[in-house]
Each structure stands twice: as structure tokens, then as C-alpha cells.
Amino acid sequence: MQRSVLLGCLLAATSAWAAPTGLNTIPTADLVPLRSANVALQNGNTDLRGSQSLFRQPEPVPQTELGLPWRFEGGLDVAPSDPPDRYRPQFNLKWTPLPEDYQWPAVAGGVSQLGPGFMTNYFLVASRTLNYEQIQYQKFRAHHRNIKLRGIRAHAGILRTVGNQWHALIGTDVELSDHFVLYADWISSAQNAFSLGGVIVIDRENSLQLALFRGNQENRISGLLLNFTHTFSW
């Protein structure tokens, strides 16, 4: 798994897609709520082995996400355009024109890594809560409100990268408890990876995301993602 390609996918994912609006490497149709912002710090380099591993060159990447009107979300990251140096700003934008309902999934599209020195990506993704009807029904059963149903969601989409290359996006998240959500996702093509991890919910404002990567052409764990996120609301 090439570090530069994975970095591109991760930055595309975790700036405008960082928890809670994305999985480990792919976006979801979720948005940061209006009058809220996420501020995160992530390791840009995910390599576990070699002289350029994250333990030697972690490449910290500060990230922000802001909830905007009309179901938009904007993001600004400061990342190395030529790792591990040349830190520059890059912008991300996501729009969810179709929110989830009983009959259809939420659908979002957007652009990521928009800035000088970066390769701009475009994406379209759908997110569906598999037990959506049961969760909605539970809200109206007053005598059962102390019984919490936990969400199980599936996500699928496409990613267009430089050179008009198209990649499939597949993922899921499962709420296992009030303090942990399991994440798993995959991006197609040889240079990308499968990831497995999740988010530890510390409290309403703070969360810690951890994930392991296995390259699509590798037979070992090859990457580690760490991301700390703080949410501001006003």
C-alpha cells in the first residue's frame, strides 16, 4: 500500500469525513450539524514499518469541519502536499440533498483535497440505517423509551480521483454501546485498503478514532490511523 495514495484517501475522508461524518477512509452522508464544528488532529502518515513509519514521521494533520446552512458541510485541513513537508491548506465541501427517510437512504456528494499541490477528489455516497424503521417506531413507544435500539448502517458510493479513475466505496458502522461504534470500510483498486476500527466516545464533545489498514495487495496489517476530535456547539 503506497503511503502517498492512502494519505490522499485518508485526507479526503477525514477532513470532511472525520467522525462523526465519515468512517475510517470513506465519507458517509452524515453532516456536522448547523452551529457546530469539529476540530481534529490526525496522523497523516499511517505506515507501520520502515524508516518512514508514523513512529518516525507522524505528519500531524490538523482538521476542521463546520456545519453550514442548506445541508452543507465545509472543511479545512493543513496537510503536507509533498509528505512529510510543504504543509498547505486544502478545502472540502459536502452536500446532502436527500436526508434519510423510511423509503430511501441519505445521499451526499462532495469534493475533497481542493487546493494547490493536492489532487482533487469527487465522491457520491448513500447511507442507510438497516434498522431505521424499528428505531423510528421505538421513539413513539413511550413505555419502551428506556430500551435503546442501536443503529446498524451500511454505506456505498463512488470516488473519482486524478486521471478520471473511479473507485468503489463500501462501509458499515455498528453502535455497540454508548461509548463505542465499530467502523469498517473498503476502497477498491490495488493502491487502497480495507480498514477495521472504530470510535471511542469519551463524552458529548470528545472522541478518539483508531483503525488498522490492510492493503488490497498485501497480506499483513500495514497502517494505523489515530484521530482525536473535539466538537464545539453554539
How many angstroms separate the CA atoms of 139 and 174, rounded? 19
Please tell me the predicted confidence (pLDDT) of residue 163: 81
**Residue 53: which H helix or E strand, with range?**
none
- Mean per-residue pLDDT for 162-169? 90
Domains of the chain plus CATH, in order, are 3-233 (2.40.160.40)
Query: pLDDT, tens digit, for every residue of 91-142?
Result: 999 999 999 999 999 999 999 999 988 889 999 999 999 988 887 777 666 5
CA trace torsion 199, 37, 87, 186 (10° rounding): 40
3-state DSSP of 136-168: HHHHCCHHHCCCCCCCEEEEEEEEEEHHHEEEE
Nearest to 209 by CA among 185, 234, 232: 185
Q: Give the contacts of 136 (CB within 8 A, at least 6 positions apart).
A: 102
Confidence band of 7 (pLDDT split at 50, 70, 90) = very low
Give the pLDDT confidence of 62-103 residue by residue, as tens digits.
999 999 999 999 999 998 888 777 899 999 999 999 999 999
Average pLDDT over residues 51-60: 83
Window from 20-24, 26-30, 105-109, 142-146 with minimum mean pLDDT: 142-146
Amino acid present at 82: D
Q: Which residues pair with 100 in a beta bridge?
A: none
pTM: 0.86
- Per-residue pLDDT tens digits for 176-202: 998 999 999 999 988 889 999 999 999
Give the number of other Cβ atoms within 10 Å of residue 112's Cβ: 30
